[in-house]
Amino acid sequence: QFIAFASLFFILVSITTFCLETHEAFNTIINKTEQVINGTETVLQYEIETDPALTYVEGVCVVWFTFEFLVRVVFSPNKLEFIKNLLNIIDFVAILPFYLEVGLSGLSSKAAKDVLGFLRVVRFVRILRIFKLTRHFVGLRVLGHTLRASTNEFLLLIIFLALGVLIFATMIYYAERVGAQPNDPSASEHTQFKNIPIGFWWAVVTMTTLGYGDMYPRTWSGMLVGALCALAGVLTIAMPVPVIVNNFGMYYSLAMAKQKLPRKRKKHIPPAPQASSPTFCKTDLNMACNSTQGDICLGKDNQLMEHNRSSGRIPL
**Whole-number Å distance between alpha carbons of 58 and 64:** 10
Q: Quickly state the pLDDT bin for 289 (edges 50, 70, 90).
A: very low
The reply to whether 142-260 shares the fold of 1-136 is no
Q: What is the value of pTM for the model shown?
A: 0.58
Q: Which tens digit of pLDDT belongs to each residue from 213-250?
A: 888 888 888 899 999 999 999 998 888 888 888 888 88
Please give the pLDDT value at position 220. 86
Q: Quickly state the pLDDT bin for 265 (edges 50, 70, 90).
A: low
Please give the pLDDT value at position 206. 93
**Whole-number Å distance between alpha carbons of 301 and 289:** 16
Q: Which CATH number fits domain 142-260: 3.50.50.60, 3.20.20.10, 1.20.950.20, 1.10.287.70?
A: 1.10.287.70
Other C-beta atoms closer than 10 Å to the C-beta of 300 total 16
Distance set, CA 138 to CA 133, 141, 168, 169 (Å): 9, 5, 41, 42
**Whole-number Å distance between alpha carbons of 84 and 91:** 12
Taking domain 1-136, whether its CATH number is 3.40.309.10 is answered by: no
Name the DSSP class of 134: G
pLDDT at 293 over 50: no
**Whole-number Å distance between alpha carbons of 126 and 11:** 10
pLDDT at 79 over 90: no
Q: Which tens digit of pLDDT belongs to each residue from 153-209?
A: 889 889 999 999 999 999 998 888 876 665 666 666 667 888 888 899 999 999 998
Please give the pLDDT value at position 118. 66
**Average pLDDT for residues 50-63, to the nearest whole number?**
86
**Whole-number Å distance between alpha carbons of 237 and 224:** 20
Please give the pLDDT value at position 286. 46
Please give the pLDDT value at position 110. 63
Domain residue extents for the chain: 1-136, 142-260
**Average pLDDT for residues 62-85, to the nearest whole number?**
88
Length of the chain: 316
Residues 6+ apart with CB under 8 A from 145: 251
